[in-house]
Amino acid sequence: MTRHRLLAVVILVVLLVTFVRPARAEALEPMTVILIVSGAIVVIALVAVLIIANVTEYRRGTRAQEHDGPLILAWQAPATTQSP
């Protein structure tokens, strides 16, 4: 598993755990809400950067592999000389 996929899986697991087990309503102070929203924005930005980087890398790899035409290899056997 690549580092990008591992990071994406870890982020998804953290998000799922956060949404499955929300905190009590009386425990949410304004500072806690601001921290949660800020963390969500950072996570969304990281995921967006990873997606854009993967798409860009994929496009670069595809363009590097494209050829204008068929590849032709030519080989000629070396000429043999006879000694006098």
H-state helical runs in 1-84: 3-20, 30-65
| Beta-carbon contacts of residue 1 (< 8 Å; ≥ 6 apart) | 9
Q: Is residue 53 part of a domain?
A: yes
Q: Is residue 76 part of a domain?
A: no
Q: Is residue 80 part of a domain?
A: no
Query: In percent, how much of the chain has pLDDT > 90?
Result: 11
- Cα–Cα distance between 1 and 9 in angstroms, integer? 10
Q: Is residue 39 part of a domain?
A: yes
- Cα–Cα distance between 43 and 8 in angstroms, integer? 10
What confidence score (pLDDT) does residue 1 get?
A: 64
Whether the per-residue pLDDT at 62 is higher than 60: the answer is no
Q: Is residue 84 part of a domain?
A: no
Whether the per-residue pLDDT at 22 is higher than 80: the answer is no
pTM of the model: 0.41
Q: Is residue 47 part of a domain?
A: yes
What is the count of structural domains for the chain?
1
Among the residue ranges 14-28, 31-45, 64-78, the one predicted with the least confidence is: 64-78
Q: Is residue 77 part of a domain?
A: no
The residue range of the domain holding 12 is 3-64
Q: Is residue 40 part of a domain?
A: yes
Identify the band that residue 63 occupies on the pLDDT scale cut at 50, 70 and 90: low
- Cα–Cα distance between 78 and 84 in angstroms, integer? 19
